Amino acid sequence: MYSYKQELNRIQEMLNNFVKTKVIDVKQLTKLDSLIKQSEQDQIRTLNSSLPLDIQRIMFGAVRNMNTSLKGIKERLRSASLRHENPTTAQQALEMMEILSNVAYSIDAYTNERRITDVKDIEKLSRILYRKAKSFGFSEDQQTQLTEAGITASQVESFIDHFGNNLSQELDIEEEVHSNLESSN
């Protein structure tokens, strides 16, 4: 049984060593790869699950935030090593471990036991993870995320254009239904 929590413990040991030695050993960064790969697979499994859409969205978000945070940590540690920003970046990555572990607890329960703990708590922890990763510079920028997802700029523009039209139509329909209900009373 795969455990996000156990993998994060291994990563935390690595980060503690980086801080202690004041050197980021880029060869050890491969320790993040297993967790990154697993979180990519779990994103797909979550999207293909039979969960209600609101719960599916929250679980996908938690797994996705875990994935993007870990990729961001790995990339920042790699570049910090090249720029000799040791151990500052490793210390920041260590500060991420608590929130990563809290989210991992919920992901492990979901992926291993098909048990979902408190959904509102998972959503809250996932948002905290996202904000903390962003504040430390451990999150991927939107362009990188769109590129990884295979979404082009023209697709985003098309979505935005259609979103406005669809929203306008939806509001018109809602207004029409509301006025019909009032006139029938």
Residue type, 161: D
Of residues 114 and 37, the one with the higher pLDDT is 37
87 cis-preceded (ω within 30 degrees of 0): yes
Helix (H) or strand (E) holding 102, with range, is helix 88-113
d(CA 99, CA 120): 15
CA-based end-to-end distance of the chain: 60
Residue type, 147: T
Over residues 122-162, the pLDDT tens digits come to 999 999 999 999 999 998 777 776 676 677 778 777 767 77
Average pLDDT over residues 164-179: 65
- The answer to whether residue 174 scores a pLDDT higher than 60 is no
Using pLDDT thresholds of 50, 70 and 90, give the confidence band for residue 38. Answer: very high
Joined tokens for residue 118: 């408190």
Using pLDDT thresholds of 50, 70 and 90, give the confidence band for residue 184. Answer: low
d(CA 146, CA 159): 13
| Residue pointed to by tokens 């679980």 | 59
d(CA 111, CA 39): 10
**Which residues have CB under 8 Å from 74's CB, separation 6+?**
29, 32, 36
Joined tokens for residue 87: 């151990």
d(CA 70, CA 77): 10
Round the average pLDDT of the chain to a whole number and report it: 88
d(CA 171, CA 163): 12
Helix (H) or strand (E) holding 160, with range, is helix 153-184
